[in-house]
Structure 1
Amino acid sequence: MIPLFNVLHCLVYPALRPYSSFHRLGKMGALDWNKVVHQHQGWRLISCIWLHAGLIHLVVNMLSLLFIGIRLEQQFGFVRIGAIYLLSGFGGSVMSALFLRNNYISVGASGALFGLLGSMLSELLMNWTIYSNKVAAIITLLFIIAINVAIGILPHADNFAHIGGFLTGFLLGFVLLARPQFGWLERSELPHTNQPPKYKPYQYVLWVVALVLLLVGFTLSLVMLFKGKNGNDGCHWCHYLNCVPTSRWKCDT
């Protein structure tokens, strides 16, 4: 079900595009590189997450959120999953603005949704020892992620928002979704001196590395963005991550 909803999201958005009022979306807070950088409207990096190109776009995103987020929220609570959702949406917006610049006006929650997918993957890796069907779970999740990223290379789908949101959510999963090691809760009533450590050493290492990468990544990205840097200048092939031209379509604006 999850890939289906995201496939629909990427397919219906181009169909809606000719009928959407981009001028109106811009007034409501859509992501516009020129306004973010030159008019100091950084709030658009957040506001664009809540805007959609039409009713179908909104419904598909809400259904995707329902199917992706419900299990995570039940297990980890509203606060942590809400933080991952918001920060992933922000990370997706930053990456989109860095690489697409003034070619597009971007709206939608795709970056935040991909952040939840990324956090599901890192949560599985972070809490590896407590799962029984590890291989099946990780293969299934990687397959879902690969399909969604591949769909993002279609024209008009903002795959940079997808990738930026995914990377942000992936790192946040290591920071926010660590579980106590297997058996710790059952033995937590033992005297303090006999209690096993709550987390395994690799969990602490992943937590520190992910937190450092998050802070460094956000800092560098925001500095580059507000200095007007173009992310494509340092990566001449990165535009293919957003759209791959074929005989059936072009990737022009």
Structure 2
Amino acid sequence: SVGASGGIFGLIGACIADIVLNWSLLFSKNVTDSKGKIKHISILIWLLLDIVFNSILGLTPFVDNFTHMGGMVYGFLCGIGTLQRLRVQFFGIKRTPWQRIRKILGRFFGLIISVIGLMVTVIVLLEGNCISPCPSCRYISCIPFPPWNDMADKWWYCDDCGGVSADARMSDSTGKFDELALNCPDDTPIVVKLSQPTDDKIWLEKQLPLFCREKCENIYTSSK
């Protein structure tokens, strides 16, 4: 996937990290009054609504939820490890030894997990041969909609049947096409016998994706 959504979600993750790091000040009775707390809560709610909306949008084709979630996780971890916390001493609040230790551990955790995560994702990208260890995870990023409609009546699909091809066989007796040699998305050839022979090539071409979804065992180019 190519686009700015991963970077945008990275910034959202960094914003969440900033809120987590400074939570005790943002909602402190000594620092923030009731109006300030309401403002902070409203900002947090809008941030969460933005995440939910874009995640739902990511269930449509050509929008990658894995990029969204990956960007947000890395943005959060990098933010935990690199963002500067507000100094509580400025507000007259003393920091306990446990709070100092927690700050150091938080930075260490964020940086180490970020580096390990980057190494793991690079290794998976280079060694995975584009085959996912979790085929069912594809539904995190795209869901055929609406789910209650028949397969032929959905608004959009998430498979690779849109680009399949087939060779039509014409019957000598009727002069019409009665059989298709269809290549499934994973290059598996199958034979589709037409219930009603036809000589309409345009209609046959439009029906190829439906035949693919009904007859092919695997409707994806790989086990991704």
Per the normalisation by structure 2, the TM-score is: 0.55
Taking only the aligned residue pairs, the percentage that are identical comes to: 31
Query: CA separation of 1:238/1:139 partners in 2, compared to 1, >3 Å: closer, same or farther?
Result: same
Residue 70 of structure 2 aligns to a residue whose secondary structure is helix
Residue 208 of structure 1 aligns to a residue whose secondary structure is helix
Distance in 2 (alpha carbons) for counterparts of 1:213 and 1:231: 24
1:241 to 135, 140, 146: 140
Contact persistence 1:129–1:181 (CA under 8 A): no
Structure with more strand by fraction: 2
Residue 225 of structure 1 aligns to a residue whose secondary structure is helix
Asked whether 1:118 is paired with 2:23, we answer: no
Distance in 1 (alpha carbons) for counterparts of 2:79 and 2:120: 21
Tell me which amino acid in the other structure corresponds to 2:144.
P
**Which of structures 1 and 2 has the bigger CA Rg?**
2
Aligned residues: 140
Residue 154 of structure 1 aligns to a residue whose secondary structure is coil
Query: CA separation of 1:163/1:231 partners in 2, compared to 1, >3 Å: closer, same or farther?
Result: farther
Post-superposition offset of 1:173? 1.1
Distance in 2 (alpha carbons) for counterparts of 1:177 and 1:119: 8
Once the two structures are superposed, what CA deviation does each residue of 1:39-82 show, in whole Å capped at 9, x if it has no partner? xxxxxxxxxxxxxxxxxxxxxxxxxxxxxxxxxxxxxxxxxxxx
Unaligned 5+ segments in structure 2 are 28-36, 146-153, 161-224
Distance in 1 (alpha carbons) for counterparts of 2:18 and 2:101: 16
Post-superposition offset of 1:159? 2.0
Unaligned 5+ segments in structure 1 are 1-105, 188-194
Structure with more helix by fraction: 1
Once the two structures are superposed, what CA deviation does each residue of 1:194-213 show, in whole Å capped at 9, x if it has no partner? x8579643332221211121
Post-superposition offset of 1:236? 2.8
Q: Which residue of 2 aligns with 1:159?
A: 65
Which is bigger in relative contact order (C-alpha 8 A, separation at least 6)? 1
Per the normalisation by structure 1, the TM-score is: 0.49
Distance in 1 (alpha carbons) for counterparts of 2:65 and 2:56: 9
2:55 to 130, 149, 155: 149
Contact persistence 2:81–2:109 (CA under 8 A): no
Post-superposition offset of 1:167? 1.1
Post-superposition offset of 1:243? 0.5
